[in-house]
Each structure stands twice: as structure tokens, then as C-alpha cells.
A = this chain, B = another copy of it.
Amino acid sequence: VSATLADIAKDTNTSISTVSRVLTGAPASARISPSTRQKVMDAAQRLGYRPNLLARSLRTRKTHTLALIVSDIANPWFGMMASAMEQALHQRGYSLVVCNSCEDAELEQEYLRMLPQKGIDGLIVVPLATTCEQLQRHLPTELPVVVVDRLVEGMEYSIISDQQGGAVSLCEELSRIKVRKVAVISGPHEVFTHRLRAQTFRGHFEVVAEHEGPAQLETGRAGWEAIGNRPVEAVMCTNNLLGQGALEAMTRAGKQLPIACFDGPAMMDLLPTPIVSCVQDVERLANGAVELALGQLQEKQMDGRLVMPTRVVWNEAFGRLRGK
């Protein structure tokens, strides 16, 4: 398809190695006569030479490609994360292949098995797997892995937000508006973030209704239904999708209870329902994860467990309740 080193060597009456040296521009190319170098570079230009990165990767064992595994990149939160990662990576000459585990542990394992064979330099993952053993079973031990938004015992590199801090802030905001009894709608307890957030919620309020399920819109809706006519004063959700689902169902039922959730819905300012949200700094999470992954590649000494701050925001409706 494209000219190869051999083509250029032939064209310039030199050897492949010389051409390689010139074109890789490495220190080796320092000791090369200006004349041949010029000759080679001209020919490369003229023949439209493009290095075959596959071949190079086979040789150097570096693909300059990372993989990202998340449950579903259609989730806007993961979309933002992936976007930020891709940009950070591209800037440093890396590509990103994305994988949807679809909340399916089997599928996740399949990716875990396949990706190393494809040759990736590192892996960033928001895992379903909860143990290091499950995660690394099929991975070469020397493959850099970064766990994002989860904490997995035994995994050295991870980056998360301050879950408890954020959850506590949410609780405080609800307390401030005199809430005592809440409903908690939560993602799977096996999942780090959901478990932590729900726990914190329980510690602060009297939980008169609780619903658990996949972290999806549908669970949020079902969660609202499950409340029935119990005397809840606010609804707390452990992520954005759950919050949105609960909000939908609640609105449809003509109610406007305050909602507290993580990474709350876009455009909440336009909604009449009081919403307070603890938002994670997705960009910092993404950049941090990239940093950790690439840092491992350069065997850099780093703090392996990063914790990012969160920020609590609320919409106007909540602001009115809250006063001042």
C-alpha cells in the first residue's frame, strides 16, 4: 500500500538500516552523513513513505494504544470521560479503543482476554469485577492497569472521587432543608461507589424506602414506584441515571419532592423539581487516569491512589428551599 523502508533503500542505493536510522530520527541518526540523509529524506517524501506502525509495534512491543472498558459509553457521564481521555491521549500520541461491558461480567472478561492479544500498552477500566483476581486473571501481569471510579483490593493504581465527602455534603444539604426521612434508590451494592454512597445516606437519615437494581433509568423509575405512599421527604439516588429515572416517574406522578443524586441530570436548572447534586470532576478523573496509565509505562514513581474532590450544586428550585 505505502512505500516501505526497502523501497526507499533501493531508490537511494542505501540499506534498509540507514533509511530506518534517518527516518526514526533517533540519536542513531546523528552519525549520518548529511548527503545521504538528505537523499533519504527526499526519497521518503517523494515516495510518500508512511511507517507501518503495526510492524513497528511488533518489533518494539509498544502500540501506543490504550483501551478503555466501561459499562456503556452511551451513558453521558462515560461519554465525557472517554472524550477527555481520548483528547489527553491523542495529545501524547496515543489512541484509544473503547469497549462496552454492558454491565455484563462475562463480556468484561471477554474484553480482558482479547485486548492484550490485540496489543495494548495499558488499560483503563471502570470494572464490574470486584476482585483483583477476576480483573487480572487473563491479563499479563506487566500490563499497566488503572481502575477508575472503583476501589479494588490489590489493584495498585486507581483514581476515584471522594465518595464519602460528597455523600456527606449531599446529606448536609438535605438536612439544611429539614429533611429527616428519605427514600434511597441505589445501584448494585456490589459496586463500590453505589455501596459507599448508599451507606452514607443511611447513616444520616431515616430510610423509609430503599430500592436497589442495575444503575439504569428503569431502576430509578421503579424505585419511585416502590416508595408507594410512605412518608418520604426526599429521594436520594446513587448516580445520574437513577436520579433521572426517579425524577421522570416522580414528575409524571405530579410530585416535586427534593432529589439528591450524584452527577445529576443535565439542564436541572430548567426543572421545577428541587435537585441537589454532587458532581464528580470527570475531566480530572480522566486526565488523572491517563496520567497513571502513561506514568506506569515510563516506570515513573507515582502515588497510585488518587482521590479527587467533588462539588455540590443545586438548581434554582432547590435554592429557594435552601434559602440564602
Contacts and interface: CB of A to CB of B under 8 A. Distances in A.
Contacts of A63: 54
Contact of A79 (B73, B119, B266): B73
Copies of this chain assembled into the complex: 2
A105 interface: no
Given A65-B97, A117-B52, A272 B269 contact: no
Interface string A69-90: 0001111101110111011001
A153 interface: no
Nearest to A138: B50
Contacts of A1: 116, 140, 142
A102 B269 CA distance: 27
A83 B96 contact: no
A280 interface: no
Nearest to A140: B1
Interface in A258-298: 265-267, 269-273
B100 A86 contact: yes
Interface residues of A, number: 53
Contact of A50 (B86, B102, B116, B252): B116
Interface string A134-155: 0000001010000000000000
Contacts of A87: 100, 102
A1 B139 CA distance: 10
Contacts of A102: 87
27 contacts: A1-B142, A50-B117, A52-B117, A52-B119, A54-B54, A54-B63, A58-B58, A65-B97, A65-B118, A72-B83, A73-B82, A73-B86, A74-B80, A76-B76, A76-B79, A82-B98, A90-B100, A95-B99, A96-B98, A97-B97, A97-B98, A244-B267, A248-B270, A252-B269, A267-B271, A270-B271, A271-B271
